[in-house]
Chains A and B, each alone.
Chain A
Amino acid sequence: MKGAALILLSAGALALGGCVQTKQRADLEFAPPQGDYSLMVMRPDVTVGSLTAGGMVEPRADWTEQARANLLRALAEQQSGRGGKTQILERREGVSGVDAETVANLERLHNAVGSSIALHKYMGATLPTKRRQGLDWTLGEDAVKFGRATGMDYALFLHAEDSFASSGRAALQVIGLAGCIIGFCAPVSGGGQSAYASLVDLRTGEVVWFNVLQTSSQLPGVRFGDIRSPEGAAQMVERLLGRMKAGRNVRERQ
């Protein structure tokens, strides 16, 4: 019985799979911040929910709060090992030099630019004008002003979504897999993560580095991370920010 389950599982893993994907994009001249830099991590935009049987994500307030707190801790931990001076925003108020409305406006501006990067650099709607140019987006003068007012060199934006199969969804996954035995394989996604991090150079206003993380699994009970736990949050931060690659021109010169 155990053997059969294992065969089923490995066959499933081969045929259906689940995976963890990250893809970095950077400005051609981007060099990861080193030494004596200052970084402001903007309030992370986090949503965690339960994946209903019908495939909709139902947001869960308690999980979201938990994940947000874990991510903030993991970010602080990760940044403390990098040498720079880091300030992490848990809310929009209380930033020295700028008011909450200014912080909100920068977040909204980045939201628009970040969505545009996701669309044109990741989702396939490539722009002919931005081909082979690395990352070529900017938040403009507003970001430079923000940097001057706060005295920060960089701003990091983080967006994270995670979802977990409800019991109904998990049952569907099992039926879908079991169907393989009689020739009707119907893989059902059991939720997963979708996150991005975006680094803005506040001295120029440009988005200099961007990374997208996606995890998914079609096997019931199998997951590739869970940001409701401190370890899972640390894993997401590591996957997103752990190995920041330099831009193409910089790499070629090295």
Chain B
Amino acid sequence: MSALEQQLPLTRRMLLGGLGGACCAGITGTAQARIRPADMKPLVTPGHRPSDKDEQGLWQQYGRVEEEISGSNLLVEDPALTAYLGQIAERTGGPAARDLRVYLARIPEFNAFMAPTGFMVVFSGLLLRMRDEAQLSGVIAHEGGHFLRRHQIRAWRDTKRKTAALTFLAMGAGVGGAASGVYAGDLVRLAHLGTILSLFSYSRELEAEADAMGLRQLAEAGYDPAAMAETWQQLIEETQASAAMRNKRWKRGYSLLATHPAPEERMVDLRASAREVTSPRTAERGRDRYLAAIAAHRKGWLDDQVKLNDPGASLYLIRNLAHDGWNGLLRYHEGEVWRLRGQKGDSALAGQSYAAAVTLPEAPPEAWRAHGQQLLREGRSGEGKAALQRYLSLAPNAPDAAMVRHALGQ
């Protein structure tokens, strides 16, 4: 959903997909002066409705988009969790508190986007990576910041103005050039590039604004503002871990064609800004509340992540979550990462993880199955069978229960 993927031609698709969907996932970019949270004032009032023709058109289009999204079968059906996300949006939404809506889509990616009409879509991959409510609230406050600062319509107007100027310049150069006999094609191409670069630079400026605005809202709601920089720290480290395991060099990224500021700069700016808004009343992390809210889904989302076959990223994020303590669920999925990678020695590593998983609380029944199969492979038939028995007793109706029973000779 990033504007980078659909650079030109500038069409309505760009309005819908690129500019409208201001997302939070980082794509590298260039330097931008830091925007101070204190300078960010919301530009909307409660119950904001568009009054200009262009914004009305944008809202109508997004009304249709929301109609489709709200009926999508990708949405996570959990009214309690959806309500929980809505409460966070309300708490960090400032004047837009009652105008924000959150949809949770089951997509194993770190991403979220805000629509100009006040609804945002958060991906399950983002929730999986968050360690507590403060981190999640940071992302939601950032997205809400796009709405508070009216970014989509401002970006659209900026695009409209710059492309119009360019088109007139090109036409003028053509007609003028024909009249005077001077070829102005190179000049036009240069101006074209300048326009594109300026559009992307504006997009990065708006992202920096959303960071500052979001940080201000986060602190006002009483959350620890350091949480936002942590999210970026985690994202950077995960990207590095992913590249390292694939034996690829992590692209440090210096690109003029980026919609978002570079993650490191963002992190540095966010740290500096966080210090400005930190006070004794900004200490809330809400870890237990957060874990309880996502408890029913963590296993499914970990499965989704492991199946992406990105072992570096998966191991990083599992271990990052384990900073708050290992449990059977995290250990089991650690084993699954090794098993799926399947290189020399991985099987033994997987076996160690499974063996550890079954000794810990929150071990899923599948951990017993994996542990049992691993033991059978190692020739420890008695222990292996006992573990498989344990799997059957924990999950008697599992889809593969009959097969496991058969293998046990029952």
Contact = CB atoms under 8 A, between A and B. Distances in A.
Interface of A: 47, 49, 52-62, 64, 101, 104, 108, 168, 172, 175-176, 178-179, 182-184, 186, 188
30 contacts: A52-B160, A52-B163, A52-B164, A53-B160, A53-B167, A54-B159, A54-B162, A54-B164, A55-B167, A56-B10, A56-B12, A56-B14, A56-B160, A56-B163, A58-B15, A58-B54, A58-B156, A59-B57, A61-B56, A61-B59, A62-B53, A64-B57, A101-B71, A104-B71, A172-B167, A182-B178, A184-B178, A186-B171, A186-B175, A188-B171
Contacts of A57: 11-12
Given A54-B162, A59-B61, 17 more contacts: A49-B12, A52-B164, A54-B159, A54-B164, A55-B167, A56-B11, A57-B12, A58-B160, A61-B57, A101-B71, A104-B67, A175-B171, A179-B175, A179-B178, A183-B178, A184-B177, A184-B178
Interface in B1-41: 9-12, 14-15
Interface of B: 9-12, 14-15, 53-54, 56-61, 67-68, 71, 156, 159-160, 162-164, 166-168, 171-172, 174-175, 177-179
Contacts of B174: 179, 184, 186
Contact of A54 (B67, B166, B177, B179): B166
A54 B10 contact: yes
Contacts, number: 89
A188 B170 CA distance: 12
Given A56-B11, A56-B160, A178 B175 contact: yes
Interface of B is mostly: helix
Contact of A59 (B12, B168, B177): B12
A186 B174 CA distance: 8
Contacts of B179: 182, 184
A168 B163 CA distance: 11
Contacts of B11: 56-57
Closest 8 CB pairs of A and B: A54-B163, A184-B178, A53-B164, A59-B57, A61-B60, A61-B56, A179-B175, A54-B164
Contacts of B9: 55
Contacts of A108: 68
Contacts of B178: 179, 182-184
A53 B163 contact: yes
A56 B160 CA distance: 8
A157 to B, nearest CB: 15
Contacts of B53: 60-62
Nearest to B60: A61
A55 B10 contact: yes
A182 B180 CA distance: 10
Nearest to B58: A59
Contacts of B68: 104, 108
Nearest to B57: A59
Given A47-B61, A49-B57, A61-B59, A184 B175 contact: yes
B295 to A, nearest CB: 29
A62 B60 CA distance: 9
A107 to B, nearest CB: 9
Contacts of A175: 171-172, 175
